Chains A and B, each alone.
Chain A
Amino acid sequence: MPTGLLLSADDSSNDDFERSWQQIEHTLLALLNQQPISKREWQDLFALTFRLSMWYESSNQIIVDNFNSVINRFVLDKKEVLAAQSDKLVFLQEYVQIWETYYRLCDYIPQLFKRLEVASTNKSGSAALSVSKRNKCQAFRDTMLEKWKDGLLNYHIQRLLDNVMELIIEEKRNHIYNGQLITNIKDALVHLHCSKDKDKLDTYQQFERAYMKNILEYYKLQSSMALDEMSMSDYIRYVDAKLREEEDNCRRYLEFSSMKVVLESIENHLINSRKSILLQECFKMIKNGNTADLIIIFKLLDRVNGCIDNVLEALSSHILESGMSTLLTDAEVIIWDSEKYVDKFIGLYEKFSELLKGGFNDDARFLSCRDQAFKKIINDRTIFSINIPTKIKGMGKLEPESRCPELLAGYCDLLLRKTNVNKKLTSGEIERRLKDALLLLKYVQNKDVFMRYYKVHLMKRLLLDITADQEMEENMIEWLRNIEMPVEFINKLAKMFHDIHISHDVNNLFKEARSKEASDTINAKILSAAAWSRGSENTNVSLPSELAEYIKEIEGFYHQKYTTRKLQWHHLYSSGTITFATNYGKYDLEVTTFQMSVLFAWNLRPSDEISLDSLRIATGLNESELRKTLFSLTNNSKMKYQILLVNPSVQSFREYTHQSIFRINRDFNIVKSGKIQKRGKVTLIGRLQLAPEKGNEEENKEIASLRMLRTQEAIIKIMKMRKRLRFGQLQTELVNVLKNMFFPQKAVVKDQLEKLIEENYIKRDEQDLNTFIYLA
């Protein structure tokens, strides 16, 4: 301890104190003014300050006061220096330069006083002892920064900000870059804060405010000009570019904390304040499919809250509109032609998918918007509907539904059956089209209708041997499985294939075992009744005697092989090829067994004219089947010459009367490129058996009863789990459970609930009739 320095306080030492301080002050000023000082001088400072602090009891306070006045004088001096600088750029440069030196010294100079017990930090006695050295330095540092702010910056701040903002705008306007200087000024303002400042960025915030104000003013002018001068397509690119540029600028010239608010206010100005123009423009682009511009405007609008909702709405109504107008303009064709129907919709789908990809980057919000809109179009019932009853017995209220699933099933059939459509396409093309149909199927609400019709079609393809490509058929089953069609349905289809394979094997055994003649002519499909689940059709028909013989032969064979089984024939599904000889040649006709039976009526009396009644007796067909069969032979729209002639002629099978007289057309022939052919093959099976009849009541009734069953099952399943539910919640869960099959209509659900209540599976809550309780 240099005890010699500890002097008592008397007058002579007063001078000494004064002298010593002056030495300190001298060195301090030299430091501040960046004059060189030696290591020695720096070290002496420590010793001197320490000595002075021991001088009197009050010497610490004197030191603080003296220090303040030195800093004060220095800062005011620099203020004048800066004030004298008239050049804007030099002013800024000088400010930065003076500040940076000063700021560095703010870290060093306070070190000198770290032993000092400063009054300001020493107010509460013993606590002062624990005040760290760092905190003592902090007080001196704070003094330096405060003096700077109060004495210098507050005087120059406006000029400083004005000048730097000018630089920033200059950069945009004239591409004169002073990036480093701007950043330095920003940093100078950020760093200027005391330890005790609550808001450390207080000074910087003036910079931020000025920045925002100037930028907005700049863009107000610029963007209006741009909007006047540029096309919309250029304007959105301009805005896009500017926003990206400003993002970069913010990153450079602002603190991270202010980026968001500044960018938002720029976006707000450039986008939100012009929202209605931009939205209008965006709607136009959607209509015109202008994806190149859309992707840009989408990015812009997506920056501002709430804008996208407007775009989604516009997109949705656009899809609906164009979908509906496609439906309506081509209604006549689409209604009956599943090929055109699928083509149109796939066309639409692809168009919108491209729009979404190109214009909206396949944004999930837009994809789901498209899906919603598509669901609406596909399930729309304006132009075509089928009637599925909601009740079976009694009044049978009809609830129309979109015919779409039926058409889709028809389209699949067209592709999978041996048809002209199928013949023209490669298997790759067929696959693609089938997948198109499946794509649309995904949007179908009532998939059970599709399933029903698909199954009927498949059955007919398999039974009439008109499947075009077995492999494709089986692939299709897998694809249906992949889009999550109900498993039971898929299994049923698979079972049909399985059963057909078995019947094929049985038929081969029969061929090996039986007469040559029979085996060449006959192909017996013997199926397990249960797998096809339709056994009860009226199949009464008198068969030509040869067929009756064959049937006996088959039955004999089968009974020998399977003694415990009996056979039932389904002539509605059987068919064959016959030779038909006329005055012009011999033709092969593919006919149904019913048609065959009708034509055989003439075999013994080829020139006779036969009445409807006689034909009914001869064929054993019921009246309605007979009429339909006759109509397919007298009024086949695909043929130039009909097989049968009827007098008087008719337009519909209902018009035949008991006076109608039928005879064989002995002049029947086939004309190909203007020439009469002596041989040829014609199929008469056509629509008669292949397509389920339009609005087939039986099919729809079965769909309806299946729905009721499924609804009951689902209600029980849900109630078993939940025990207690309000109607609304139950309905929601039902929709979810049944979504792969159909949409449960309220009327159906209510009916089934009543039934279940009657059967004591559930009951109504006595307090709240809308709540149902599961009865365990």
Chain B
Amino acid sequence: MSNTMEKRLQKELMKLVSEPPAGVTFDSESADSKLTLWKVKVVGAKDTLYDGESFILQFKFTPKYPFESPQVIFIGPNIPVHPHIYSNGHICLSILTDDWSPALSVQAVCLSIVSMLSSCKKKVRPPDNVVYVSTCSKNPKKTNWYYHDDSQS
């Protein structure tokens, strides 16, 4: 394990526990000892389609973090119904692959996802959901995403 990954994740963990942003809660015990697997709870914002719903996001980190993006998916019984979120929990979000930057963080990713949910106007699955879910790899990062333009959905 690299020092950079370990130290950075420790810092992020401390910050997320001590000053969590609105709509995000994190129990440090849900992370494993090497900090490579986190589970973060996000809550739908007030006055949005997801108001009152809560979801679990799973983060998987490789030793190359933060130079390589984490693998982020929704897990658990409640996967948000959203035009960019597949029913297997995979999320179509550019900062998780092509647009990743080491300046981003777990917190930044969570906030992006919350805001993605908040801006949703209609709760539907992506049009290719059935085909994608039956053919995709377990790891969403292996998918060649064609990013939907939000303004069109």
- The answer to A–B direct touch (Cβ < 8 A) is yes
Q: Which residue in B28, B29, B33 is a CB contact (below 8 Å) of A776?
A: B33
Q: Which residues of A728-776 have CB atoms within 8 Å of chain B's CB atoms?
A: 760, 775-776
B33 and A760 within 8 A (CB): no
Q: How far is B28's CA from A775's CA once the two chains are assembled, in angstroms?
A: 13
Of all chain B residues, the one with the shortest Cβ separation from A761 is: B33
Main secondary structure of the interface of A (DSSP, over half): loop
Q: Across the interface, which residues of B come within 8 angstroms of A776, CB to CB?
A: 33
Q: Please indicate the chain A residues that have their CB under 8 angstroms from the CB of B33 in the complex.
A: 775-776
Annotate A112-144 by CB proximity to B: 1 below 8 A, 0 otherwise.
000000000000000000000000000000000
> Residues of B within 8 Å of A, CB-based: how many?
3
Report Cα–Cα, A775/B33, bound state, in Å. Answer: 8
Task: Point out the residues of chain B lying under 8 angstroms from A775, CB to CB.
Answer: 33
Question: Which residues 22-65 of B have a CB within 8 angstroms of A?
Answer: 28-29, 33
Please report the C-alpha to C-alpha distance between residue A760 and residue B30 in the assembled complex, in whole angstroms.
Answer: 12
Residue interface bits A387-419, CB-to-B below 8 A is 1, else 0: 000000000000000000000000000000000
Give chain B's interface secondary structure class.
Answer: helix
Residue of chain B at shortest CB distance from A776? B33
A760 to B28, CA, bound (A): 10
Q: CB-CB contacts of A458-474 with B at 8 A, as 1s and 0s? A: 00000000000000000
Give the complex CA separation of A775 and B29 in angstroms: 11
Chain A neighbourhood of B28, CB < 8 A = 760
Residue of chain B at shortest CB distance from A760:
B29
CB-CB under 8 A from B29, the residues of chain A are 760
Give A776 to B32 CA distance when docked, in angstroms: 8
Across the interface, name the chain B residue whose C-beta is closest to A774.
Answer: B33
Please report which residues of chain B, range 85-101, place their CB below 8 angstroms from some CB of chain A when the two chains form the complex.
none
Q: CA–CA, A776 to B33, complex, Å?
A: 5
User: Complex Cα distance A760/B31, Å?
Assistant: 12
Min CB distance A548 to B, Å, is 41
CB distance from A772 to the nearest CB of B (A): 16
Give the nearest-CB partner of A759 in chain B: B28
**Once bound together, how far apart are the Cα atoms of A760 and B33, in whole Å?**
11
| Minimum distance in angstroms from B75 CB to a CB of chain A | 22
In the bound complex, CA of A89 to CA of B12 (Å): 103
**Measured CA separation A438–B41 after assembly (Å):** 58
CA distance A760 to B17 in the complex (A): 14
Min CB distance A581 to B, Å, is: 59
Docked complex Cα distance between A509 and B28 (Å):
53
A13–B28 Cα distance when bound, in Å, is 119
- How far is it, in angstroms, between the C-alpha of A749 and the C-alpha of B87 when the chains are bound? 51
A632 shortest CB reach to chain B, Å? 45
Measured in the bound complex, the distance between the Cα atoms of B31 and A720 in whole Å is: 17
Q: How far is the CB of A500 from chain B (nearest CB, A)?
A: 28
* A766 CB to nearest B CB, Å: 18
A97-120 with Cβ < 8 A to chain B: none
Q: Please, which residue of chain B has its CB at the minimum distance from the CB of A720?
A: B33
List of B residues within 8 angstroms of A760 by Cβ: 28-29
State how many angstroms separate the Cβ of A361 from the closest Cβ of chain B.
Answer: 52
A776-B28 Cα distance, complex, nearest whole Å: 13
Q: How far is the CA of A776 from the CA of B35 in the complex (A)?
A: 11
Q: Specify the chain A residue showing the minimal Cβ separation from B28.
A: A760
Closest chain A CB from B89 CB (angstroms) = 26
Residue of A nearest to B32 (CB): A776
- Shortest B15–chain A CB gap in Å is 16
A775 to B31, CA, bound (A): 12
CB distance from B128 to the nearest CB of A (A): 41
A775 to chain B, nearest CB (A): 7
Give the shortest distance, in Å, between B57 (CB) and chain A (any CB). Answer: 22
CB distance from A293 to the nearest CB of B (A): 63
CB distance from A589 to the nearest CB of B (A): 50
Q: Could you tell me the distance between the alpha carbons of A484 and B28 in the complex, rounded to whole angstroms?
A: 39
In whole angstroms, what is the CA distance A67 to B137 when docked? 107
A742 to B68, CA, bound (A): 42
Name the distance in Å between A322's Cβ and chain B's nearest Cβ. Answer: 52
Distance to closest chain B CB from A77 (angstroms):
98
A213 to B33, CA, bound (A): 76
Interface string of A428-458 (1 = CB under 8 A from B): 0000000000000000000000000000000
CA distance A760 to B13 in the complex (A): 14
CB distance from B6 to the nearest CB of A (A): 13
B18 CB, nearest partner CB in chain A, Å: 13
Rounded to whole Å, the gap between the CB of A723 and the closest CB of chain B is 12
Give the distance in Å from the alpha carbon of A760 to the alpha carbon of B29 in the complex. 8
Instruction: Give bound CA distance, A88 to B33, whole Å.
Output: 93
> A215 vs B29: C-alpha distance in the bound complex, in angstroms?
81
A70→B131 CA distance, assembly (Å): 121
Of all chain B residues, the one with the shortest Cβ separation from A775 is: B33
- How far is A721 from B145 in the complex, measured between Cα atoms in Å? 44
CA gap between A685 and B33 in the complex, in Å: 53
- The distance from the CB of A759 to the nearest CB of chain B, in whole angstroms, is 9
How distant is B28 from chain A, measured CB to nearest CB, in Å? 8
Residue ranges of B at the interface with A (Cβ–Cβ < 8 Å):
28-29, 33
4 A-B pairs (CB sep. < 8 Å) = A760-B28, A760-B29, A775-B33, A776-B33
Q: Which 4 A-B pairs have the closest CB atoms?
A: A776-B33, A760-B29, A775-B33, A760-B28
